[in-house]
Structure 1
Amino acid sequence: MVMLLIGAFYFTFFHDDGKIEKEAAENPQAAEQVDTAPDPHKVDVILERVYLDGEVSEEIKSETIWSMEDFWAGYAAWELVDMTEEQVVFRQDVDDISPLLKSNGYFGISDDGVLSIFNGRPGQSEIIQSFFQLDIQKLESGKRDELVKGIPVKSKQSYEQVIQSFQPYSLKEDASFE
Structure 2
Amino acid sequence: MTFTNLYKQLKKRLRRARRTLQLGCFLLLSAGLVWALSQNGDEQAAEVFAKRSSEEPVVDKVTEGTVETLSRISGTVPVIMDKEYLCGTESTPVGNKDTQEIISMLTGNPRYSAVMAPDGTLHVKEQIQDLSPACKDNAFIGMDEKGNLTLYDTQKGEKKAVRTFFQLDVKQMESSLPEETLKQLYSGIKVSDVDEYNSVISTFSDFAVEEAKRVMSQDL
- Judge same fold: TM > 0.5, yes or no: yes
Q: Does 155-164 or 168-177 show the bigger shift?
A: 168-177
Larger helix fraction of residues: 2
- Higher alpha-carbon Rg: 1
* TM superposition shift of 1:97: 2.3
Q: Kindly tell me: are residues 148 and 89 of structure 1, through their superposed partners in 2, closer, same or farther at Cα, counting changes over 3 Å?
A: same
Aligned partners of 1:168 and 1:74: how far apart in 2? 39
Aligned identity (percent) is 19
* TM superposition shift of 1:8: 1.0
Q: Kindly tell me: are residues 84 and 74 of structure 1, through their superposed partners in 2, closer, same or farther at Cα, counting changes over 3 Å?
A: farther
The one-letter code sitting in structure 2 at the alignment partner of 1:4 is E
Is 1:49 matched up with 2:83? yes
The one-letter code sitting in structure 2 at the alignment partner of 1:58 is S
Contact 1:135 1:171 in 2 (8 A): yes
The one-letter code sitting in structure 2 at the alignment partner of 1:62 is G
Is 1:162 matched up with 2:196? no
* TM superposition shift of 1:170: 1.5
Q: Kindly tell me: are residues 167 and 79 of structure 1, through their superposed partners in 2, closer, same or farther at Cα, counting changes over 3 Å?
A: closer
Contact 1:46 1:90 in 2 (8 A): yes
Q: Kindly tell me: are residues 5 and 143 of structure 1, through their superposed partners in 2, closer, same or farther at Cα, counting changes over 3 Å?
A: same
Q: 2:93 aligns with which of 42, 47, 60?
A: 60
Q: Kindly tell me: are residues 84 and 132 of structure 1, through their superposed partners in 2, closer, same or farther at Cα, counting changes over 3 Å?
A: closer
Long gaps (5+) in structure 1: 14-40
Q: Does 84-93 or 67-76 show the bigger shift?
A: 67-76
Contact 2:71 2:100 in 1 (8 A): no
Aligned partners of 1:85 and 1:119: how far apart in 2? 31
Q: Does 77-86 or 153-162 show the bigger shift?
A: 77-86
Map of 1:38 onto structure 2? none
Contact 1:9 1:85 in 2 (8 A): no
Q: Tell me the alpha carbon deviations over residues 94-116 of structure 1, each in whole angstroms, 9 at most, x when there is no partner.
A: 12223332120011111221111
Map of 1:102 onto structure 2? 136
Q: 2:187 aligns with which of 149, 153, 157?
A: 149
Map of 1:18 onto structure 2? none
Aligned partners of 1:148 and 1:3: how far apart in 2? 46
Q: Look up the SS of the partner of 2:129 in the other structure.
A: coil
Aligned partners of 2:119 and 2:204: how far apart in 1? 49
Long gaps (5+) in structure 2: 1-63
Q: Kindly tell me: are residues 85 and 147 of structure 1, through their superposed partners in 2, closer, same or farther at Cα, counting changes over 3 Å?
A: closer
* TM superposition shift of 1:120: 3.0
The one-letter code sitting in structure 2 at the alignment partner of 1:81 is V
Give the TM-score, by structure 1 length. 0.62
Is 1:134 matched up with 2:198? no
Q: Tell me the alpha carbon deviations over residues 115-171 of structure 1, each in whole angstroms, 9 at most, x when there is no partner.
A: 1112239xx723222111112212222221011222111111111111000111111
Map of 1:21 onto structure 2? none
The one-letter code sitting in structure 2 at the alignment partner of 1:108 is G
Q: Look up the SS of the partner of 1:162 in the other structure.
A: helix
Aligned partners of 2:113 and 2:126: how far apart in 1? 6
Map of 1:8 onto structure 2? 72
The size of the alignment, in residue pairs, is 142
Q: 1:89 aligns with which of 123, 131, 149?
A: 123
